[in-house]
Structure formats: C-alpha cells, structure tokens
A and B are shown apart, each in its own frame.
Chain A
Amino acid sequence: MAAATSGHDDRKRNVRRTALWLGLVAVAFYLGFIAMGVLRSVH
C-alpha cells in the first residue's frame, strides 16, 4: 500500500513538474520575443 501511494505521489509530482516546465517555456517565448522587439527598436 505504501509503495502504491508513493507511486501515486510520484506521478503527481511529475505531472506538476512537467506542467511547470512547459509553462516556463511558454512564458520564455512570450517575453523573449517582446525583448527581441525592444532590442531591435533600441539599435
């Protein structure tokens, strides 16, 4: 039972971690392209 519960918790943790990473990638693309626009208009 303990092993099964820990498997469930592991999965939950993995789900959270994957979602967080993907969210960060999306935010990086969003801010990165705006930053690129800023840099281009500064030069």
Chain B
Amino acid sequence: MTTTSSIAHHQPADPVREHHEDELHDDHGPEKGWRRWVFATNHKDIGTMYLLFSLLMFFIGGTMAMVIRAELFKPGLQLVDPMFFNSMTSMHALIMIFGAVMPAFVGLANWMIPLQVGAPDMALPRMNNFSFWILPFAFTLLLGTLFVPGGAPAGGWTMYPPLVLQTGNAFPMLIFAVHLMGASSIMGAINVIVTIMNMRAPGMSLLKMPMFVWSWLITAYLLIAVMPVLAGAVTMLLTDHYFKTTFFEAAGGGDPVMFQHIFWFFGHPEVYIMILPSFGIVSEIIPTFSRKKLFGYDSMVYAIASIAFLSFIVWAHHMFTVGMPLAGQLFFMLATMLIAVPTGVKVFNWTATMFKGSLSFEPPMLFALSFLFLFTIGGFSGLMLAIVPADFQYHDTYFVVAHFHYVLVPGAVFGIMAGVYYWLPKWTGHMYDMKLAKWHFWLSTIFVNVLFFPQHFLGLAGMPRRIPDYNTQFADWNMVSSIGAFGFGLSQLLFAYLIFSSIRGRANASDKVWDDATPHGLEWTLSSPPPYHSFETAPELK
C-alpha cells in the first residue's frame, strides 16, 4: 500500500476545507482541561477514553474474579456469603464482556479505523461522544447494584427467567444498565460502518482495506443485528416483572425457554463480536513481524464473513440440555462444527504467513503467537462441546468455563493486549520498556494456562459451574487454578504500569515505530504521535 504524498502535516489549499473551516476546527489543537474530554469529538481522545475505561473495568472485573478464585481456593472455605459469590460470578461476566472487552475494541476502532482508512475522524463525532459517555452511567448503575437491598444480580449474566425475576431492587438497575450498554454499542457500530463505507481514502477499495478494518466492519454489522435483540429480551423481562405480561412465564401462557432462544440468538454472535476484532489485530501483527505479506488476504476476509454468518445459526448449541427435536440437535451440532472450517482457514493462513518468514518476537508478536496457540485450544474444546451427547455430560461444568475462558482471555484479551503493544508507541509517541513487556507476556501466558487448563480436568470430573463450595475430590486442581488466577491478576499490574509509563514518556518512537519490521498501512505514514487532526487532506492510494 503506497500513498502519493506525505500526509501528516501537509495542508494544501483545499476548497472543501476553506468552505467548511468551522467544522474542521483545524486551526487549533485540543481544548484545555476537562472540556477536552467531556465534549470530546476527536476520535483519538474518544478512543483513549474508551481504552482507559476498559482498563478500569478490566481491573474491577478482575478483582471480582479474584474473589471467586479465593473462595474456591479450598473446599470448606466461606470467605464470602454464597449469595455474594453468585453475584460475583454474574457481575464479573457482565463487567468483563460489556465493560472491558467490548469498550476496548471500540477504543481500538476509534483510534485506528480513521487512521487506517485515511479519514480525518469518525463520520459521526458527536454520536461518538455520546456513545462513550453513556458507559460510565451504565456501569455506575450496574456497580451500584452491589449496594442495594437484595444485592447485585446473582442469577448469571444470562439473566434466565424465572431465576432473574428473584433479583431484589437491583433488577431494574440491571435492565436499564443493559439497555444503556446496548445503545452505546449500537451507536458505536453505526459510526464504524458509516465511517468505513463513506470515509475511505480515494483508491482504497473494500478489498484493499486493512484486516483490522475488515474485521471491525463485519463485527459492527453483527452488533447492529444482535444488540437490539438483547434489548428486546430484557425489555420483555422488565414488562414481565412490572407490567403483568407473561412473555416468559408458563403460568400465563408464556415460555421461559423462549428467553433462552432469544438470549442466545444475541449471545452467540456476541462471542464473535468479542473475537473477530482480535482476528483483525493478529492479521496486522503477524505479517509485520514475519516480514511478509499476509497469506491469503481474500480468504481471510471471506473466512471472517463466513464465521459471522454462521454465528447466527448456531445459538441453540448453548441449550441442548433444555430439550429440542432430534433434527434441531443435529442441525445446531453440524452448523457449529462448520465454524471450524473458516476458523481453520484463518489459523492456516496465519501459520502460512509465518512460514519461511524472517520472524522476530517483539511483545505484540509474542501475544499474537500466544493467541494463535491458546485460542486454538479454546476452539477445539468448543468442537467437543458441539457434540450433542458429549455436551449432555459437559453442560454446566467447569469444562465449559475452561472453554470460554480460553476463547475470551488468551483469545480476545490477548488480542487486545497485542494491539495495544503494537500501536501504543504510535499513539503516545513513546516506546515502552520492551523487557518489561516481555515479562508481562511470559507471566500472563504461563499463569493463564495454570489458571484455566486445570478447569478442563475439573469439568470432566463433574465439577459444576457457579457453586461457592465443592466436593473434596476437586480440591487439588482448584488450588492450582486459584494460584494461576492470583498470578495472572498480579501480572496485569505490569500492563497498567507499561501503558502509563509510555503515556508519561520514555524513549521517542519513530513514525514507523517498528523500523526493523515491515508494518503496512496508512497509520505508519503519520507522525508518532499522530497530529490532533490527521488526514484532513485525504491520502490517495495507488
């Protein structure tokens, strides 16, 4: 990908710019003080706020995970009340999914999509501000449930009725918080699609877009299709609770299983919403540090699109045990297994990109490689869970917990960390401490396996999910898992330190940042850090 002109600071006379000078605000930098952040419309500022918010939520959700693993350290411990334990499992999931992983990807999208497509900003900057600032209110509301009579939601993040209807005063707060998070995600997704479809640099056809942009375009379509479905489901829960409807109440002619169908129609694509952007990030990083072009670019795009399509027709594999016709079981089992094909294409292409490449192992590449191996483990256990008779044994055991944590932690979270280590010097203009980042990588990779791998054994031996205490037969592996959790949690303090030390400033990063490697894309043509208003004159691609 080449550009015809230097882009960053050059501002030739441009009639469009002159005509719309008021809108472009190109005669000044950011506002001073709090107004810069509260009234932010600049994609970089909003991206930064999303990423910092996500980091905060990552630590809050992580603290809840520590409470869970402390309680499960030994059988017979009662460090916390069992009801509070149940609240911790539910809140940990809600905060990590909606507060940590999704906002982190939206933050990365905000920072990188305009830079990668050569746009001056996101297409709808005011809506961008609004979709971020909804989140602190949503999560204040959600975290506030910890302090109301009846305690925080404890029926699981899936909010299945009728159990969820037993939630105390926290119930309406939960429902409103979910609506707010959904509205924020939908607005973010609209902004991403509108930006990509309308603001690409001249010459950047769809099949010339960077893989991160492609992965986000497809993710955004998924978001627009499924977040309203979740909103619809929780709206019906709300009316069942307060307005005497019986959508999910068998006594009134409703059907509680219908909630599960609707929830998982949202919930399964949601899994891909949390993993597809990581695919995009890894597809940017592996070619850079292999010093080769991405192998099979077109097939990577089609594979992401295929995964997204298939994600809509597999939802009932989450609920084989509630009962369904044999034909339904077969359909959902086979459709689920089919996802392995495009996923296999991606893993093959990443491996082929590295084949005979001149590899180097900087922190982004290390996290990308860890992603590749460990996400594949999560994928394999997913295939096991797709087999209906096997799922009858594994359902609601720690095997499921191990499976989705392998997908979401070394999958989604390591993808985010790889992306942050890859682009952080571009954002801040400062290189971070490479040695410490490698320490962070090794500690995270070792402890994440110590934490989650034994949970496969626990699940296969029959340990159920969501219990505050357990039979002594499960003692040893639970202790190992908890030690892994504490190690993993503490290791993340290094991540926070590295981010803030890079913001405060260390050695300056060059414009290309990875001078010894081969990073491709428009973002590397800008200065490090990029100017506050970048690409006011669109770059032209040959």
A34 to B229, CA, bound (A): 8
CB nearest to A34 among chain B residues:
B232
A18 to B189, CA, bound (A): 12
**Contact residues in B for A8 (Cβ distance below 8 Å):** 16, 19-20
**Contact residues in A for B198 (Cβ distance below 8 Å):** 11, 14-15, 18
Query: Given contacts A5-B16, A8-B19, A18-B197, is CB(A29)–CB(B124) below 8 Å?
Result: no
Question: What bracket does the count of chain A residues touching chain B fall in?
Answer: 20 to 34
**Contact residues in A for B199 (Cβ distance below 8 Å):** 11, 15
Residues B194 and A19 in contact, CB atoms below 8 Å apart: yes
Judge if B218 is at the interface, Cβ distance under 8 Å.
no
Residues B194 and A22 in contact, CB atoms below 8 Å apart: yes
Residues A4 and B232 in contact, CB atoms below 8 Å apart: no
Residues B186 and A26 in contact, CB atoms below 8 Å apart: yes
Residues A29 and B225 in contact, CB atoms below 8 Å apart: yes
**Contact residues in A for B252 (Cβ distance below 8 Å):** 41
Number of chain B residues whose Cβ lies closer than 8 Å to a Cβ of chain A = 38
**Contact residues in A for B236 (Cβ distance below 8 Å):** 34, 37
Q: Of the candidates B16, B186, B232, B265, which one forms a contact with A37 in the assembled complex, judged by CB atoms under 8 Å apart? A: B232
Residues B228 and A27 in contact, CB atoms below 8 Å apart: yes
CB distance from B238 to the nearest CB of A (A): 11
Q: Of the candidates B15, B20, B190, B232, which one forms a contact with A33 in the assembled complex, judged by CB atoms under 8 Å apart? A: B232
Instruction: Encode contact with B along A8-37: 1 for CB under 8 Å, 0 otherwise.
Output: 100100110011001101111111111001
**Contact residues in A for B235 (Cβ distance below 8 Å):** 30, 34
Cross-chain pairs A/B with CB under 8 angstroms, 25 sampled: A1-B15, A1-B19, A4-B15, A4-B19, A5-B19, A7-B16, A8-B19, A14-B197, A15-B198, A18-B198, A19-B123, A19-B194, A22-B189, A22-B190, A22-B193, A26-B190, A26-B224, A29-B225, A29-B226, A30-B231, A37-B232, A37-B247, A37-B262, A38-B247, A41-B246
**Contact residues in B for A29 (Cβ distance below 8 Å):** 224-226, 228-229, 232
Nearest first, the 7 A-B pairs at minimum CB distance are A30-B228, A33-B232, A29-B228, A1-B15, A4-B15, A4-B16, A22-B190
Q: Of the candidates B16, B124, B232, B262, which one forms a contact with A15 in the assembled complex, judged by CB atoms under 8 Å apart? A: B124
Q: Of the candidates A1, A23, A30, A41, which one forms a contact with B229 in the assembled complex, judged by CB atoms under 8 Å apart? A: A30
In addition to A8-B20, A31-B232, A41-B247, 13 A-B residue pairs with Cβ atoms within 8 Å of each other are: A4-B15, A15-B124, A15-B199, A19-B127, A19-B190, A23-B186, A26-B186, A26-B228, A27-B228, A30-B235, A34-B232, A34-B235, A41-B246
CB nearest to A43 among chain B residues:
B253
**Contact residues in B for A37 (Cβ distance below 8 Å):** 232, 236, 247, 258, 262
Residues of A within 8 A of B (CB): 1, 4-5, 7-8, 11, 14-15, 18-19, 22-23, 25-34, 37-38, 40-41
Residues A40 and B258 in contact, CB atoms below 8 Å apart: yes
Residues A40 and B255 in contact, CB atoms below 8 Å apart: yes
Q: Of the candidates A7, A19, A27, A30, which one forms a contact with B124 in the assembled complex, judged by CB atoms under 8 Å apart? A: A19
CB distance from B17 to the nearest CB of A (A): 9
**Contact residues in A for B253 (Cβ distance below 8 Å):** 41
A32 to B233, CA, bound (A): 11
Judge if B389 is at the interface, Cβ distance under 8 Å.
no
CB distance from A35 to the nearest CB of B (A): 9
A31 to B229, CA, bound (A): 9
Judge if B254 is at the interface, Cβ distance under 8 Å.
yes
Instruction: Encode contact with A along B290-329: 1 for CB under 8 Å, 0 otherwise.
Output: 0000000000000000000000000000000000000000
Residues A41 and B228 in contact, CB atoms below 8 Å apart: no
Most chain A CB inside 10 Å of its own CB: which residue of B229, B252, B258: B229
Judge if B407 is at the interface, Cβ distance under 8 Å.
no
**Contact residues in B for A31 (Cβ distance below 8 Å):** 232
Judge if B509 is at the interface, Cβ distance under 8 Å.
no
A29 to B186, CA, bound (A): 12
